[in-house]
Structure 1
Amino acid sequence: MLFALLCKDKPGHLNVRMDTRPTHIEHLNKLNAEGTLKIAGPFLDDDGKPCGSLIIVEAESKEAARALADADPYAKAGLFESVEVKAYNWVFNKPEA
């Protein structure tokens, strides 16, 4: 099952995002290699600076998806003000497996 992780950065925490980015990318690369990661990228504010993240993962349950969100280096560094985990149904432009 797919889950969207909707992550909102804390205001004024761009430095935390940039400092933690290398380990965050390493984490996402691992999830990608496992086939767990489907989509990932930052939300941008009106100035074009990252202000949150959208990550779509495949997991067995909402709890498993939440555990993936909690394991993200950004989450561990305290970057996020909030993380919403929502079941997701990929309908259009889904790549064939």
Structure 2
Amino acid sequence: MLYAVICNDKKDHLHVRLDIRPKHLDYLKSLGKTLKFAGPFLDDNEKPNGTLIVVEAKSLQEAEGYAQNDPYAKAGLFSDMKIRRWRWSVNNPEEA
């Protein structure tokens, strides 16, 4: 099952995001095929202010583990995090 991890950054924490970004990217790359896609949400000034990650996991608890082990989460970047089951219905490259 796919899970969408939807996070919003704490206000005035762009410096945390920028400092931790290399570790965050290394972590995402380490997930291999578990990670389906990821990227930042942007504010009106094109500055990142949140994160969307979609992972494949056997359970919500497994998806939560991936999310909680993200260096951004460990650094306290996020003001909130939601994890929701998600179905890739359109333009899924695995169904091409």
| Displaced runs of 4 or more, over 6 A | none
TM-score by length of 1: 0.96
Equivalent-residue separation in structure 1 for 2:80 and 2:12 (angstroms)? 14
Equivalent-residue separation in structure 2 for 1:94 and 1:11 (angstroms)? 34
Q: CA deviation at 1:65?
A: 0.3
- Say if 2:78 is the partner of 1:80: yes
Equivalent-residue separation in structure 2 for 1:71 and 1:82 (angstroms)? 15
Q: How does 1:1-97 map to 2 (within 5 A)?
A: 1-31=1-31, 33=32, 35-96=33-94
The one-letter amino acid paired with 1:59 is: A
Identity %: 53
Q: CA deviation at 1:82?
A: 0.6
Cα deviation digits, residues 40-80 of structure 1 (max 9, x gap): 00000000000000000000001110111000000000000
Q: CA deviation at 1:96?
A: 2.0
The one-letter amino acid paired with 2:67 is: A
Equivalent-residue separation in structure 2 for 1:37 and 1:24 (angstroms)? 13
Unaligned runs of 5+ in 2: none
The one-letter amino acid paired with 1:49 is: K
Secondary structure class of the residue paired with 1:91: coil
Secondary structure class of the residue paired with 1:63: helix
Question: Between Structure 1 and Structure 2, how many residues are aligned?
Answer: 95
Equivalent-residue separation in structure 2 for 1:36 and 1:71 (angstroms)? 14
